Structure 1
C-alpha cells in the first residue's frame, strides 16, 4: 500500500508539474509588458555654427521611463520573432562644455520600435526560459522644441530618425499556465543629427550617438 500510494503521489506530482511547465511552443504568441527605462550612453560631437566647429560644445541626454510592450510569435519551439513598442519617451537635452550655461535647453520625444529574432535555448518543459535576440531598431523623433528660454534665441529644432542594430537578453519565469515574470535588457545603436536655426537664420548642426541601454521588467502572457 505504501509503494502504491507513493507511486500515485509521484505520478500526480509529475502530471501537475508537466502541465504547469508547458512553456513555449511553435505557434504561441507572447505579450510582455512592464516599465521600460531608456538610459542613453551619449557620445556627442561638437556643435557646428554656420559650418564652423565650436570647440568643446556638446550635449547630454537624460534617462526616461515609460510603459514598454512587446509581442513575440514563436515560429519554432526555440525561435521567436519579437516586435518591441512603447509609449513615447520624452528626453531633455542639456548643454555640456561651452554649452553648459544653457542647462536643459530642449525637449524631444521618440519611439523606438525594434524587430528581433529570439532564441530560447531551454527545453519547452522548463519553467525558466532565458532568451537572446538580435534585430533592427528604428527610432523616430518628434515634438522637438526648445525650452527654458532657449526658444527666445533658437528655433526649428529637428532630429533625424535612426536605423541601427539592437541586441537583447532576457528571461521569463513561469508562474502559472499562461503567466510569467519577465525581465530584459536591450542595447540599441541609435545615432542622430540635430539641426536648428537662430533668429538671424544662422544654421546649427550637431551629431550625437545615443546608444542606449533599455531595461524592462514586468509580466508575460502566453496565448
Structure 2
C-alpha cells in the first residue's frame, strides 16, 4: 500500500510537469527562496541481525517498515547555481523481529529525519532544472510504543545524504518537483534492557514529489 500510494503521487507530479506550458516563469537566481510542499516516502528495507548480550546470533532480524507522509522543504539560493535546502517532516515506522517461523511486532516509533544539503542546480534559467546535492541529517526517534512484551531503545544520531532532483516550471512562480535522497544512517538498538541487541543499518531512500513556490 505504501509503494502504491507513493507511485500515485509521483505519477500525478509527472503529469503536472508534463503539462507545463511555455508561459512566463520565475527562473532560479541568487537570493531566491523556494518552498516545496511534498509527499514523501521514507523507504528503509532495513533487516539486520539480532544478537544476544553475549554476541550470539539469535537467528532473528530486526525489520523496519516504510511510511509516507507530507514534508516541507525550504531552499535558499546563494548564487544562481548553488543553494542550501532544509527539509522537515516526520514518519512512523514499525519494527519487527523476523526469522524462521517468527514475525513479531516489537516496537513502533516516530522518526524526525531533518536533512540540510548543499545543492548544485545545472540549468537555473531553464524550465526543466535538475540538481544534485549532499548534506547531513540527524535522526531523532520519539513517541515510541513497545509491543508484545518487548522494551526497545533506539539511539539518535547523525548521518549523511546524497540527493538528486528536478524542478519543472508550470506557471509563474509555481513548479513541479521530484526529489530523491539516499540517507546513510546506522543506529544501535537494545531490546529488554540489553538482553538482545542489534545494529540497524537504516539507510533509507527518501522519495518525494510535490509542488514548489518561488518567492
Range class of TM-score, shorter chain = 0.7 to 0.9
What is the CA deviation profile of residues 44-99 of structure 1, one whole-angstrom value per residue up to 9, with x for unaligned ones? Answer: 1x32333342332211111100011110000000010000111x21111122225x
1:21–1:126 CA contact under 8 A, matched in 2: no
**1:103 & 1:204 partners in 2: Cα distance?**
15
- Give 1 or 2 for the bigger CA radius of gyration: 1
Correspondence list, 1:58-207, <5 A: 58-86=61-89, 88-97=90-99, 101-122=102-123, 124-147=124-147, 150-151=148-149, 154-155=150-151, 157-197=152-192, 203-207=195-199
**2:83 & 2:106 partners in 1: Cα distance?**
42
User: Is 1:217 paired with 2:212?
Assistant: no
Q: Which runs of 4+ in 1 moved over 6 A?
A: none
- Alignment gaps of 5+ in structure 1: 1-16
2:84–2:116 CA contact under 8 A, matched in 1: yes
My pick for the range that moved more, 77-86 or 158-167, is 158-167
| Structure 1 residue 102: Cα displacement | 4.4
